[in-house]
A and B are shown apart, each in its own frame.
Chain A
Amino acid sequence: MQALTSRARQVDRKPMTFIEKIYLWNIIKGMIITFKHIWKRKETVRYPEQKRPFSPVFRGLHILNRDAEGRENCTACGLCAVACPAEAITMEAAERKPGEEHLYREEKYAARYEINMLRCIFCGFCEEACPKDAIYLTETFAPANYKREGFIYGKQDLLIPAPGEKNKA
């Protein structure tokens, strides 16, 4: 039969010699490899004390942005939700009432805005789709949680605090 590659070798079925039988040489060979690694550069980092730098394009937890006057940028246009490949974003829009101009930048705003972090794949398409510079992906991991309930992020979790407003969290 023609071999498919030149690397194919016939298995040696000869009985083992005495040196091979006492097995010592093979153990020494293996230990040489093991001890060689003590002197090699380690690929891992000692995580809690030492942290790897994030890449500049790292995509982590989302935030909802405000403008310079502290008004919410989001107008609930739905482009992030339509761009989202995981269908993680849902929202409900409302009209701004007279007297709410200091809260919302445009006449329409997101009354409800939710990201399901269990569904989110952190692709950053929402950030790319946003025409109002409202949603950004930060350099923070979504924190772990014992319950699934904690992964449904509402507006109170996503909005950055308005200037002057103390961060309650």
Chain B
Amino acid sequence: MAEEKKLFKVKIDNISVEVEPGTTILNAARRIGGDIVPPAMCYYSKLQGSGGKCRTCLVKVTKGSEADPRPMPKLVASCRTTVMDGMEVANITSPEVQEARKGVVEFLLLNHPLDCPVCDQAGECHLQDLSYEHGADTTRYEFKRRTFDRIDIGDKIQLHMTRCILCYRCVFTADQLTEKREHGVLGRGEAAEIGTYIQQSLDNNFIGNVIDVCPVGALTDKTFRFKNRVWFLKPVDAHRQCEDPKCCGKTVLWMRGDEIFRVTARKDQYGEVEEWICDTCRFDKKDVKDWVIEGPRKIDRHSVISQGHYVGVHKPKDTLVEVLDGRQPKLLLDIHNISEVNRPEIDLSKIDGPAHSDDFNKK
């Protein structure tokens, strides 16, 4: 029998939890769950080395440990600080932390273009949630926001460098998931940007996962670009037998009717993917016949994505046809004869990239 590991007792917002030595404060908080979990924009539990960059997970350590009960002098990043035995941490109970987090959000939004009406990430964007919860409604920044020359990084992934908050998640994903990393961070400080240097296109079977790890709308799916808003789509759990041994084939299909608009990996409550999926599943399988559909995906009730999704609806039996002796009721207007929207001959989900004016005008 191996020697039993001594568990560290930690108190986060006056809730006790016992965790193994070496656990970070953030992960200890996630063990408890609920409101006390600090938000994280750059930390990703599935990516080694991530964290410590965005500073949104700052917490106050009010008691260092049982042996040394002095509080830590400054707020610490909970994703990078490991727990000590008897440590006491304040997150939502500390006004200082809330104030600091508000400042961090303001800094993150300094150069963010706030083009949410255009951005495809809107509705599932962590920065949107974070600024809604913590941010001020106006900015004090008076200077021009930074802009970049647009770089084309391939025909499947769209990069919007202005929206990037430099969390480095995509770089870690490319480093750890794909065989050869082709993009990285160029420049320093304010000039830092995600790029492929010589406009080399990202070409790797797992590179599509950078879309899922991106907390903002900097990396988005080009095959889904401007096709629809996420809250008008119905997320459905589905799987398929994927040829790639590294791919689990378990995905979420974002559907409207029988059309598959987008395929993503399954994300847990912290917005982290449960298992990685390959690019074939993500970009090329946009047909219902390719998938085995398991059922609707559970979406948090407070998310905008859950709007208009009626679960467990009982459709009443229409007795009119029976009463009319099998005659169908006379329709005064079939909306599909008049409406220009959702025309069956224009299948938006089958268009490769974003739709353009000529896609709509073709007869």
Q: Which residues of A contact B (CB under 8 A)?
A: 75-79, 81-82, 87, 90-95, 97, 100, 106-108, 111-112, 114, 116, 131-132, 147-149, 152, 154
Give the shortest distance, in Å, between B314 (CB) and chain A (any CB).
20
Q: Given the complex of chains A and B, what is the CA–CA distance between A116 and B339 in angstroms?
A: 9
B360 touches A90 (CB 8 A): no
- CB neighbours (8 Å) of B339 from chain A are 90, 114, 152
A95 touches B117 (CB 8 A): no
A92 touches B348 (CB 8 A): yes
B229 touches A95 (CB 8 A): no
What DSSP secondary structure best describes chain A's contact surface? mixed
Q: A82-B307, A92-B360 are in contact. Are A108 and B226 (CB under 8 A)?
A: yes
B357 touches A111 (CB 8 A): yes
B225: CB under 8 A from chain A?
yes
- CB neighbours (8 Å) of A92 from chain B are 341-342, 348, 355, 360
Q: A78-B229, A95-B226, A132-B117 are in contact. Are A149 and B333 (CB under 8 A)?
A: yes
Contact partner of B354 (CB less than 8 A), chosen from A95, A114, A149, A152, is A95
Contact partner of A131 (CB less than 8 A), chosen from B116, B307, B348, is B116
Residue with the greatest number of chain A CB neighbours at <10 A, chosen from B342, B348, B354, B360: B354
Q: Given the complex of chains A and B, what is the CA–CA distance between A92 and B231 in angstroms?
A: 14
- CB neighbours (8 Å) of B308 from chain A are 82, 87
List 6 interface pairs A-B (beta carbons < 8 Å), by A numbering: A75-B117, A78-B231, A78-B232, A106-B117, A131-B116, A152-B339
B170: CB under 8 A from chain A?
no
A116 touches B335 (CB 8 A): yes
Q: Given the complex of chains A and B, what is the CA–CA distance between A95 and B356 in angstroms?
A: 5
Give the shortest distance, in Å, between B123 (CB) and chain A (any CB).
9
Contacts of B307-356 to chain A: CB distance below 8 A: 307-308, 332-333, 335, 337-342, 348, 353-356
- CB neighbours (8 Å) of A77 from chain B are 116-118, 122, 229
- CB neighbours (8 Å) of B228 from chain A are 78, 93
Give the shortest distance, in Å, between A108 (CB) and chain B (any CB).
5
Give the shortest distance, in Å, between B118 (CB) and chain A (any CB).
5
- CB neighbours (8 Å) of B337 from chain A are 149
A106 touches B115 (CB 8 A): yes
Considering the complex, give the chain B residue whose CB is closest to the CB of A156.
B340
B304: CB under 8 A from chain A?
yes
Q: Given the complex of chains A and B, what is the CA–CA distance between A79 and B122 in angstroms?
A: 11
Q: Given the complex of chains A and B, what is the CA–CA distance between A90 and B305 in angstroms?
A: 17
A94 touches B118 (CB 8 A): no
B129: CB under 8 A from chain A?
no
Considering the complex, give the chain B residue whose CB is closest to the CB of A79.
B117
Give the shortest distance, in Å, between A159 (CB) and chain B (any CB).
14
Considering the complex, give the chain B residue whose CB is closest to the CB of A152.
B338
B342 touches A108 (CB 8 A): no
A111 touches B122 (CB 8 A): no
- CB neighbours (8 Å) of A81 from chain B are 232
A152 touches B355 (CB 8 A): no
CB-based closest 8 A-B pairs: A77-B117, A95-B354, A78-B229, A148-B333, A90-B341, A93-B226, A111-B360, A94-B355
Mask for B113-155, Cβ within 8 A of A = 1, else 0? 0011110001000000000000000000000000000000000
- CB neighbours (8 Å) of A78 from chain B are 228-229, 231-232
Contact partner of A97 (CB less than 8 A), chosen from B122, B225, B307, B357, is B357
A112 touches B340 (CB 8 A): yes
Give 7 new A-B contacts, CB below 8 A, not counting A77-B118, A111-B359, A112-B341. A77-B122, A78-B231, A81-B232, A82-B229, A92-B341, A93-B355, A148-B333
Give the shortest distance, in Å, between B139 (CB) and chain A (any CB).
16
Q: Given the complex of chains A and B, what is the CA–CA distance between A138 and B92 in angstroms?
A: 46
B285: CB under 8 A from chain A?
no
- CB neighbours (8 Å) of A106 from chain B are 115, 117-118
B53: CB under 8 A from chain A?
no
- CB neighbours (8 Å) of A116 from chain B are 335
Q: Given the complex of chains A and B, what is the CA–CA distance between A107 and B115 in angstroms?
A: 10
Q: Given the complex of chains A and B, what is the CA–CA distance between A94 and B340 in angstroms?
A: 14
Give the shortest distance, in Å, between B309 (CB) and chain A (any CB).
12
- CB neighbours (8 Å) of A111 from chain B are 355, 357, 359-360
Give the shortest distance, in Å, between A142 (CB) and chain B (any CB).
16
B227: CB under 8 A from chain A?
yes
- CB neighbours (8 Å) of A148 from chain B are 332-333
Q: Given the complex of chains A and B, what is the CA–CA distance between A154 and B340 in angstroms?
A: 8
